[in-house]
Amino acid sequence: MIDERDRKLLALLQQDGSMAVGELADRVNLSLSACSRRIQRLEEAGYIAKRIVVLDRERMGVPTTVFAMIKTAHHSDEWIEAFRRAISDIPEIVEAHRLTGNYDYIVKVVLPRVEHYDVVYKQIVRKVELFDVSASISMEILKSGTAVPVDYAE
């Protein structure tokens, strides 16, 4: 069970994972040691999955985003595992989701330029058979982030 201080700590850590424990303690009105223990408890309980650094995509040379909607005629566990392996080997694919509805999967691909999408597409189709792929280029990012709401945690 987590309380409001835990939720505030989690929200602060999502904003800046490198924030010093002393500053976190001040912001949630705890002693340094109590704050440190809470963070450790939240990590051990699995509320904090990992700590990462978010890189600037422009500076990293991958400013273009393409969303590929994928249909497959195959739904066996073996095909799904082969697809999972195929996309996990492609660093430009930063997210993949299995869907309900008209498409089976959506993958988010970050690229140096839109023409590079063909390279990624060919890497996938060499490894797994697809029925249909429809790609859309993101024109503008309206909202992006990794933070999740903290109010629902129990």
Contacts of 8 (CB under 8 A, 6+ apart): 27, 28, 150
pLDDT tens, N- to C-terminus, the chain (154 residues) = 899 999 999 999 999 999 999 999 999 999 999 999 999 999 999 999 999 999 999 999 999 999 999 999 999 999 999 999 999 999 999 999 999 999 999 999 999 999 999 999 999 999 999 999 999 999 999 999 999 999 999 8
Q: Fold for 4-44, please state it.
A: Arc Repressor Mutant, subunit A (1.10.10)
Q: Evaluate whether the domain defined by 57-137 bears CATH number 3.30.70.260.
A: no
Per domain, the residue ranges of the chain are 4-44, 57-137
Q: How far is CA 11 from CA 8, 39, 66, 114, 126, in A?
A: 5, 12, 29, 35, 42
